[in-house]
Amino acid sequence: MNSTLQDILGLVKRRKIKTPTDKDYIVSAAYDNPQEALKPNPKMHSSLISIGALKEMFLASFKNFALGGWARYDDTQYTEAAPLNIVHNAPAVILPNNAGFKIETQLNSLTSFYNGSTQKITPVKLGDAYTMVVSFKGKTANASQNNLNISLSSTGTTPYDRVSKTLIFTKSTQWENFYETFKFYADADFIANGNQWMISAAGNNDVQIADVIYYIEKTYTGNI
């Protein structure tokens, strides 16, 4: 150990600097407890820490606590050729998105923001805040006599169904693009139960839905 220490001191003296690699080690020393540092002759224990292990620890920490991150989830089941039919004046149904195509390379999280199997939004942490874009195509037989209502579900006690909007058709019988932005936070109810987008049609005609896309961006990391 003395020889290793002498080698290290020699490198410091000569200012021999190298680019670190995962296979390199750094020397660490630590007290058994904070009180030990107050003693006249405190005892310290030395150890070696690999650069690779240190890097993995930092990366894991950043992924769990990074401020932001985003993901995209596309439904691949319902298309213009085979749309979902929303029966007018009927109870709301889940806006379908099987996440058959997704981009999660910028999550900055070990947890996905959406589950295509349960079709639920899955916040990472209590207190997180999100901005979500819901995009899809819709059409109906008579634009002036029909509209859509979209909202989050409320499976628990928090009235997340107030995160909602009424959508108006402006084109007669053609496909129309809808691009709606919503903001919400994750409380204990949301974390425990997840949440789904619900959609219903009001008026005199059914509505067809296709090409649903979700863009979810985490804008704040909860400190609870």
pLDDT band at 109 (very low <50, low <70, confident <90, very high): confident
pLDDT band at 34 (very low <50, low <70, confident <90, very high): confident
Task: Tell me: do 125 and 51 sit in the same domain.
Answer: no
- What's the total number of domains in the chain? 2
Task: Tell me: do 14 and 113 sit in the same domain.
Answer: no
Based on its alpha-carbon atoms, the radius of gyration of the chain, rounded to whole angstroms, reads: 27
pLDDT over 70 percentage in the chain: 86
Tell me which of 19-28, 179-188, 202-211 is least confident: 19-28
Sign (positive/negative) of CA torsion 86, 92, 98, 99?
positive
Q: Could you tell me if 84 and 78 are in contact, meaning their C-beta atoms sit under 8 angstroms apart? A: yes
Domain end position, chosen among 41, 64, 87: 64
Question: Bigger pLDDT: 88 or 17?
Answer: 88
Task: Tell me: do 54 and 129 sit in the same domain.
Answer: no
In 123-208, which ranges are continuous DSSP H helix? Answer: 188-193
Question: Token pair of 203, please?
Answer: 């008026």
Task: Judge whether residue 161 has pLDDT over 50.
Answer: yes
pLDDT over 90 percentage in the chain: 60
Task: Tell me: do 76 and 49 sit in the same domain.
Answer: no
Q: Could you tell me if 45 and 27 are in contact, meaning their C-beta atoms sit under 8 angstroms apart? A: no
Task: Judge whether residue 219 has pLDDT over 70.
Answer: yes
User: Residues 191-217: what's their mean pLDDT?
Assistant: 96
Task: Tell me: do 54 and 82 sit in the same domain.
Answer: no
Task: Tell me: do 91 and 149 sit in the same domain.
Answer: yes
pLDDT score, position 178: 98
Which residues, other chains included, contact 25 with Cβ-Cβ below 8 Å and sequence gap of 6+? 48, 49, 50, 51
pLDDT score, position 68: 86
Task: Tell me: do 118 and 174 sit in the same domain.
Answer: yes
User: pTM value?
Assistant: 0.71
Task: Tell me: do 135 and 89 sit in the same domain.
Answer: yes
Q: Could you tell me if 163 and 150 are in contact, meaning their C-beta atoms sit under 8 angstroms apart? A: no
pLDDT score, position 13: 67
Task: Tell me: do 99 and 210 sit in the same domain.
Answer: yes
Closest CA to 127 of 187, 66, 54: 187
Task: Tell me: do 133 and 215 sit in the same domain.
Answer: yes
Question: Token pair of 21, please?
Answer: 């690699």
Task: Tell me: do 99 and 177 sit in the same domain.
Answer: yes
Domain end position, chosen among 49, 64, 79: 64
pLDDT score, position 223: 79
Determine the Cα–Cα distance for residues 86 and 81; give it in Å rounded to an integer.
15
Domain end position, chosen among 23, 39, 64: 64
- Domain with 213, as residue range(s), is 67-220
Task: Tell me: do 39 and 127 sit in the same domain.
Answer: no
